[in-house]
Structure 1
Amino acid sequence: MKRKTAHIISHTHWDREWYLPYESHHLRLTSLMNELMDTLEQDERYRYFHLDGQTIMIDDYLQVYPDGKERLARLIEQGKIIVGPWYVLQDEFLTSSEANVRNLLIGHQEAARWGPVSKLGYFPDSFGNMGQAPQMLKQAGIEAAVFGRGVKPTGFDNVVVDAPGEYESPYSEMVWESPDGSSVVGVLFANWYSNGNEIPVDPEEAKRYWDKKLADAEKYASTPELLYMNGCDHQPIQKDLGDAIETAKTLYPDVDFVHATFDSYLAALGKHPSDDWVTVHGELRSTRTDGWGTLVNTASARVYLKQMNQVGQTLLEKGAEPLAAIANLTAGHKYPHEPLAYAWKTLMQNHPHDSICGCGVDEIHREMIGRFDKSRHMAEALIAESLSAIGSRIGTDDIAAWPENARPAAFFNTTGWDRGGVVTVDVQAVRINFKEGPSPQGIADKLDALKIGPGRVIDTEGRQIPAKIEDLGAQFGYDLPDDGFRVPYMARTFRLTFEAQNVPALGYKLYAWVPEEEGRGTDYEAAVSRNGEKALQEQADQLEKSSSIEEVVSTPYGMENQVLAVRFADDGSYSLTDKTTGRTFEGLGVYDDCGDIGNEYVFRQPEGDEMLTTRGLSAAITLVEDQPYRVTYEIVHEWEIPASAEDLFEDEKRRLVPFLKRRSGRSTDTVTLKLTTRVSLEASGKGVQVSVTLNNQARDHRLRVLLPTGLQTQTVLADSIFEAAERNIVPAPEWINPSNAQHQQAFVSLSDGTHGLTVANKGLNEYEVLQDGCGTIAVTLLRSVSEMGDWGVFPTPEAQCIGEHTLEYAVYPHAGNAIDSGAFAQAYQYQTPWFSQPLKMQSGTLPAEYRALTWSGEKLALSAFKQSEEKGDVIVRWYNLSGEDAQLAFEPKFAADAVYESDILERRGAVTETIRRQEQQAIRVPVSPAKIVTFALAVQPDTTPNA
């Protein structure tokens, strides 16, 4: 019989903030770190400590004890304190694909500043694990992952029959494989990450302890290498561990007890055969359980946090990063590596699972709002700098169709696909600086008195664009010059709203406002005087050109454009007809509401609770916007719903009654829930955009919007991390939870192969496909709960989410599925804002229309366009959303020396192509199913943009 080895790994699972506010945990952390370093220096038997909370723990400690830096650095360099590879222990499903990459990238960078980087995919308490994690880890040079959830261990005596290798494993060791085929060694904490906590020194206690612990580990271990995690949540270190190990050695001479690291444990594990290990595939979500322990309802706890996170992530990865790269390429503006890292780190301080999941005490979630704001403000400032730098180089005075008094603006599309949509920008007709006097009030009076008509919006060819032009009067503003004091001013300002069309991906397009100024004549006359008879022909062609612009029209019962028709019912629901396929989706937009006597972790509808809906409830329907570029209807429901749970609920919480044993129902008292829904259709829109504003005064309930598709299918596509995950709609037989809610990122989609419906969202991360025979997609808008849950009594009144909320989603009908039809790109664009920059009439080196990169590839999504810190390379990343081979072709529209294969750590690999500066050429690369591909484009220092 082979000798067994008990690998004891010391750690403390450091939830940065959870059942105590951040600073309360922070103080305990600093005490732990000081005690840890004392012990490591004074007790040679206490050899290692795994820094569970990842590299942010170092920053947190040094905030309070900066003098500990040298001591900490020495212990990390010696390999006694193991750090990395993540910056924070994030929730994987509630943070975006690029946020997960930045977490790994910044974690590596931070850890490397101190010493060796832990090469371990560490997911001790993630509420499910993303399917592409093995591929990401492999790209980062990581060959193994450990995790606490997502796989059901069955032990040697159980046989996996229905779905071998999906979510079950007889062993704690297995192979974990991504959809692309990348795989790593996977180790499940089958007995949790505290199975070696507080090891007794006393022989009698130690005998009872180890008899059980050895048997528990042997039940699942496939080798004699037994893993024991010596720590738990916020656990102080075990200072007498050396004595406890000596006791164990004496009691069990046939077992080797060692104070270990994950590296030494995995090395020992690798010496044993693994032929009988199960391979688990993709997402680890433990669907083959009773369904209560997946904790997926954290996706709907404190929805306002998810909304702020979606905004913050998008501004960084689809705003600040690509615009900074374009500003560097086109205007030589320095790429802001350090400010971007600061913004990302500030945002990621909200990404630990208990934080972004909204499952902590109220104080920590209040503090999160400040962090979201800080990160967003930095992103917005960086975006403004980049837009200004690019805008200063755009030539506008050589556009023949524009008169001298034109007020240009550039509109930026930072998504991966050409784009159209409604945009808004404020432009200045006349500006007067304060120093010109007589006073701000006098300047405002002078500006307001100017006779300036609304004018018109035109494109670079002189076509008039249907637009709403609002005179805002004199508005205060200021400049902050790089070389001088601030410059305050007042400006007569006009707000333009219209639909931009065919704006290049990773690029911009110009439009101009031409005011009607007293004494100047028409823009046509000005153009003639400036450009001669050429303008005459352009003006003559203008009406003909304008007639080709798409428009949307209102109807007595709805609205329609060239591809969609919308019709409203008396209860405020609507039908959506896809004119291309002829399919009509009926009854969209009904709301349902039910009680919730669960907590921040788990939704629980009371027994016998009636599901309330707005189906048949009369609604006030009003046309509130009727423009050629967009039509909007407003639907108002005034809905009486129960005010809260019954009084019994307060007693059940006080006595810590488990949520499954609670008997409280809903109160007979009611409050009015006023729902104001706005449904908009744009002229070139392929779907409707919906916003729902409400003032929630009810407690202990859940609100959803229902979107019945009528599609018969067994699976659903949900946008996840670098994949559109295909999930079974009907859960496994073991699933007894009445709710089968799941995570989503940008969209959820159903298709029967012929028709499909895709629902996009902004920060609404929970959906469910109902078992109602109608293929109904239910998207959670709000969940109001009153306690944290888990192991104690922790009231969280702010989790009731009382007050004003605005929730946003969009609905896209299409042929086929979301990937083949390209509807996924619409969903990604829906989450990404437009960026704009007013310009002057000026000479410049940049053209009127620009794109940084051309690319093509069906079923591929562009995920990142940024610059690397180490080499300054332009980093471009795509991923294949399909299960089929794809072909990627791309061509940089800037001078590049070479294109390197890269990875998520932005390292240069093999040279894919050498690009001669004067002979730009397309790079063609096959992309296998579900593959993430990254390229590093070496930029010439004197790069000049091409049109």
Structure 2
Amino acid sequence: MRKVHVVNHTHWDREWYFTTSDALVLSDDVFTEILDELEKNPEAKFCLDGQISILEEYLQLRPERTGQVKKLVSQKRLAIGPWYTQTDAFFVDAESMIRNLAIGIKESKKYGDPMRVGYLPDTFGFNAQMPTILRNCGIDNIIFWRGINLQKHVKRPYFIWKGLGEKAVVAANLVDGYGAAAFLNDSDEYLDKRLFPAVEKLKKLTDQQELLITSGGDQLRIVENLPQKLASINQKSQDQYVVSSYETFIDTLRGEKDLEEYQGEFREPCTARVHKSIGSVRYDIKRTNFRMEQKLLKRIEPLMAIARANGIEVSTNLLTHAWKKLLEGQAHDSMGGCVTDPVAADVLHRMKAVDEIADSIENLIAKRLSEKIGLKENEILVFNTLPKKFKGYKIVEFMHPSKNVRFEGIEDAVLLDAVYYEGKNNLLLESPEGPKYVNEDPYYRLKVLIPVELPAMGYRVIRFEEGDAPLPELKETEAREISNEHYRISYEDNDLVLETKFGKKMKGFIRFEDCGNDGDTYDFSPLPGDKPELLSLSLKNVKKASLVETMTLEGDFLLPRHLDDRLKENGEKDRLRITLEISLRKGEEIIDCRCTVDNRIYSHRLRVKINTDIHAKETIASLPFGYIRRPVLNGNVGDWKKDYVEMPIDIEPFDASVSVEEENYHLSAFGKGIKEYQHIGDSLYLTLFATTGQLGKPNLVTRPGRASGDTTKKGHVMIPTPQAELIGTLDFEFALCVKEGRFDELGTAKLWEAYSSEHISYQPQTLNKFIYRLDNKIQPRYQKGTLPREFSLLEVGPDSLFSSFSPSLYDDGAFLLRLKNPTGGEKKLENYDFRRFAHVLKTNCIEEISEDQDFRIPPYDALTLKLWL
């Protein structure tokens, strides 16, 4: 006889083919019934999908139910949290996953103890560092469904899952998904056809005496009289069925010995689809999410710390509010992009709100700091939000009546861009003496690249004055090449050629590849009979200055307009315009690439093709706090239909970088919002986008059978997604680096840190009050000259790698500094300066104080320190 733990739950998609507002209406109906049933039936239990945001929104509608919720949570009959929303596990930053748990646990505590289970029942696969993230957030287990291969990864559904480093969790796989026993009842037909077969399947997979069966599904209501139904089932079964919870079942696994161990990711589509090519769908969502993550992590949070240390208070609740809006769009459907157009619009609108909140916080902080410093119009406040000294290039933007500018203490500078504003007459000036009319002279908004040294986690004031001559600009030349100390990039015989300082030469270095996409918002799928077309760009111009050289290439291509035009001899065509700007800065190892695509083509995929000249057997992709090596298949997927529900292609996700290596050198690519790659032959492909006009389609070449997205269920219809065609202008940023020797984890992580660092500057000025939206409304408050002209809040050693520096969720005046170690060797924080803080303690990511207080960073892990001002 086995003991079967039956967990009643609802899986609550916040949005999908319905909107968040739709789900809110449903919650009013379904959640109210859940609470009523739990009140009526004291032996019943229920799990509210592991995400607190849905309860938070429900209680805004039904505040009178708050006491009831608190009582049921205290009785362990209603399980809430620990996530804020059900996170995607591949396309969001590690810090987003951590914030999801940290905010989720904090918000859950308003109602009681959250469920300490890493419950992600429907996420499209899992990165290899989920155990590390969970353990750093005080959770020692995970319950999940998709991505596992029970023939290859482990043989049993209950096992130990190890991260890349020292941390591991107890893992339970939902073999038949989260709806194994949906619509549970005690009829003989249901038992014989559904429940008992599901349990027998589990028995064959494990000899453990206690098993887990889930009773629930998408937006499903509570099972009425569940304890009574299980009592009836026990009369008909040789096994014992009990009302249980995920926490109770995990307790049984903690006591098990000899559990199998697995280390790695879960991304194989064996019994459930993981949508391996979803990383290229709705690029606009992925790009915007990346930008917002970077803005919050590398601008707003450090600026809030610098401000607070200087007596300027900005509410942490504002920051949490922004994070919540971003997290609402990071569930698997929303972040994957497999949603309807109205939902996609909602996701982007929430991100727009995040953008506005972040810009306004930055504006307020910069203005207040400049006020306390006593900054003048010919001075620029330049920030460094990394916890180590900066020496390199920053881009500063400021207003000035002319291009004649000279920086104090800076001998070299390059004007990157200048916007001219014409003068105006009879402008109203509101002065303390009263309104009067004045004339305004013309002026410029200047964007300038300067070499600069900045203090760690702080700022420095840079002064400029009217110069004798205009700033040096990038000048167009007759040259057909650009170079610096590390590379020479030339345009020869209609081809782009890269030469490195160590003698490596690569022809056809960057090209583009276009092909039709017969897939949907879940997956790219090739169009049978269509062949990819290789697109080479032509040289437009080469510009050079002392600090930077740029090469601009462009192409104007006539391609089949619609998918069915690709198979017609005289099909309709339209234009695809690509512009690529390649920049080399003096002394830098990064090849900076900015690409603009004017897309007028429907249902196609566009990729950057990078000649690595390496016939790689594996790729090395970044993921949270580490790197993973994946095999290169070169199209060899075998007879996959016997073992997989979708083609197990090697189109893969990457967090920040992807690399390939040979004995003598390695090539790394970095993407800002580009999330998908594939290596074929000797070329690395970065997917810019795959566009489509359908939510879900059946019988794809790469995914046979039913359509994903419920579009071919009984009573459902095909749902068009014209906005997912991404018609219009799209911008992309990526960078490349070719270095001598084998792949270097620390070196590559440092390159990403440098490439992704932010350029933050501020100038107090009266010429244009709308460059910063709030400038015109922030009234003076502080006495001028009370702050120094240079400031550093804290400092760590040059080999330390920054993850985040954020205000505490629990303590005003406290901050969390997180440093990461994406290498296989242990790091110890030894060289640091925390003298501005009264107290420093090692904690986990949810601010629980650690037993040990050594500042050690284990391999492929992170160190979190809580610092009190």
TM-score by length of 1: 0.81
Name the counterpart of 2:803. 863
Tell me which amino acid in the other structure corresponds to 1:266: I
For residues 885 and 502 of structure 1, the distance between their equivalents in structure 2, rounded to whole angstroms, comes to 32
* CA deviations over 1:523-582 (Å, ceiling 9, x no partner): 9xxxxxxxxxxxxxxxxxxxxxx9xx99999661121123322112454x5223332x33
Name the counterpart of 1:877. 818
* CA deviations over 1:898-937 (Å, ceiling 9, x no partner): 3211111123335849xxxxxxxxxxx4433112111112
Name the counterpart of 1:111. 108
Q: 8 Å contact 1:131–1:283 — kept in the other structure?
A: yes
Distance 1:480 1:667, change over 3 A: farther
Matches within 5 A, 1:19-418: 19-45=17-43, 47-52=44-49, 54-154=51-151, 168-252=153-237, 254-271=238-255, 273-275=256-258, 277-286=259-268, 289=270, 293-329=273-309, 331-394=310-373, 407-415=378-386, 418=390
Distance 1:852 1:501, change over 3 A: farther
Distance 1:179 1:21, change over 3 A: same
Distance 1:503 1:565, change over 3 A: same
Displacement of 1:420 in angstroms is 2.5
For residues 26 and 48 of structure 2, the distance between their equivalents in structure 1, rounded to whole angstroms, comes to 15
Q: 8 Å contact 2:50–2:115 — kept in the other structure?
A: no
Name the counterpart of 1:536. none
Displacement of 1:764 in angstroms is 0.7
For residues 428 and 517 of structure 2, the distance between their equivalents in structure 1, rounded to whole angstroms, comes to 50
Distance 1:666 1:248, change over 3 A: farther
Name the counterpart of 2:756. 831
RMSD: 3.3
Aligned pair 1:561/2:484, yes or no? yes
Among 377, 400, 403, the alignment partner of 1:454 is: 403
For residues 929 and 550 of structure 1, the distance between their equivalents in structure 2, rounded to whole angstroms, comes to 45
Aligned pair 1:909/2:850, yes or no? yes
* CA deviations over 1:142-184 (Å, ceiling 9, x no partner): 2211111222123xxxxx5xxxxxxx21111010001112111
Tell me which amino acid in the other structure corresponds to 1:423: I
Q: SS state of the match for residue 646, structure 1?
A: helix
Displacement of 1:602 in angstroms is 1.4
Tell me which amino acid in the other structure corresponds to 2:395: V
Among 463, 483, 508, the alignment partner of 1:512 is: 463
Distance 1:26 1:728, change over 3 A: same
Name the counterpart of 1:463. 411
Among 523, 530, 546, the alignment partner of 1:628 is: 546
Distance 1:194 1:471, change over 3 A: closer
Matches within 5 A, 1:500-579: 500-504=450-454, 505-515=456-466, 556-569=479-492, 571=494, 573-579=495-501
Displacement of 1:492 in angstroms is 5.4
Tell me which amino acid in the other structure corresponds to 2:257: S
Q: SS state of the match for residue 277, structure 2?
A: helix
For residues 324 and 911 of structure 1, the distance between their equivalents in structure 2, rounded to whole angstroms, comes to 29
Displacement of 1:297 in angstroms is 1.6
Q: 8 Å contact 2:396–2:450 — kept in the other structure?
A: no
Tell me which amino acid in the other structure corresponds to 2:9: H
Distance 1:602 1:334, change over 3 A: same
Among 503, 519, 522, the alignment partner of 1:598 is: 519
Tell me which amino acid in the other structure corresponds to 2:575: T
Q: 8 Å contact 2:477–2:542 — kept in the other structure?
A: no
Displacement of 1:840 in angstroms is 8.2
Name the counterpart of 1:919. none
Displacement of 1:195 in angstroms is 0.8
Among 587, 591, 611, the alignment partner of 1:708 is: 611
For residues 9 and 784 of structure 2, the distance between their equivalents in structure 1, rounded to whole angstroms, comes to 62
Displacement of 1:67 in angstroms is 3.2
Q: 8 Å contact 2:745–2:822 — kept in the other structure?
A: no
Distance 1:103 1:205, change over 3 A: closer
Displacement of 1:839 in angstroms is 4.9
For residues 99 and 879 of structure 1, the distance between their equivalents in structure 2, rounded to whole angstroms, comes to 15
Aligned pair 1:672/2:569, yes or no? no
Displacement of 1:712 in angstroms is 4.3
Matches within 5 A, 1:597-746: 597-615=518-536, 619-623=537-541, 625-646=543-564, 668-730=571-633, 736=640, 737=647, 739-746=649-656
* CA deviations over 1:474-512 (Å, ceiling 9, x no partner): 68999999xx99x99968543333322244342334433
Displacement of 1:817 in angstroms is 4.7
Q: SS state of the match for residue 749, structure 1?
A: strand
User: What percent identity do the matched residue pairs reach?
Assistant: 23
Displacement of 1:78 in angstroms is 2.6
Q: 8 Å contact 2:856–2:863 — kept in the other structure?
A: no
Q: 8 Å contact 1:590–1:613 — kept in the other structure?
A: yes
Distance 1:778 1:453, change over 3 A: closer
Displacement of 1:381 in angstroms is 1.0
Name the counterpart of 1:437. none
Distance 1:369 1:257, change over 3 A: same
Give 5+ residue unaligned stretches, structure 2. 641-646, 697-707, 712-717, 767-782
Q: 8 Å contact 1:16–1:53 — kept in the other structure?
A: no
For residues 126 and 97 of structure 1, the distance between their equivalents in structure 2, rounded to whole angstroms, comes to 15
Displacement of 1:666 in angstroms is 10
For residues 758 and 34 of structure 2, the distance between their equivalents in structure 1, rounded to whole angstroms, comes to 47
Q: 8 Å contact 1:746–1:761 — kept in the other structure?
A: yes
Give 5+ residue unaligned stretches, structure 1. 155-159, 161-167, 398-405, 429-451, 517-521, 524-545, 650-663, 914-924, 940-947
Displacement of 1:113 in angstroms is 0.7
Q: SS state of the match for residue 403, structure 2?
A: strand
Displacement of 1:395 in angstroms is 6.7
Name the counterpart of 2:732. 807
Displacement of 1:368 in angstroms is 0.9
Distance 1:280 1:336, change over 3 A: same
* CA deviations over 1:721-762 (Å, ceiling 9, x no partner): 222222222389668438411111222122224312211111
For residues 632 and 830 of structure 1, the distance between their equivalents in structure 2, rounded to whole angstroms, comes to 17
For residues 492 and 561 of structure 1, the distance between their equivalents in structure 2, rounded to whole angstroms, comes to 37
Displacement of 1:385 in angstroms is 1.8
Larger radius of gyration: 1
Distance 1:828 1:212, change over 3 A: same
Matches within 5 A, 1:832-847: 832-839=757-764, 844=785, 846-847=787-788
Displacement of 1:854 in angstroms is 2.4
Point out the more displaced range, 133-142 or 367-376. Answer: 133-142
Tell me which amino acid in the other structure corresponds to 2:693: S
Q: 8 Å contact 1:153–1:190 — kept in the other structure?
A: no
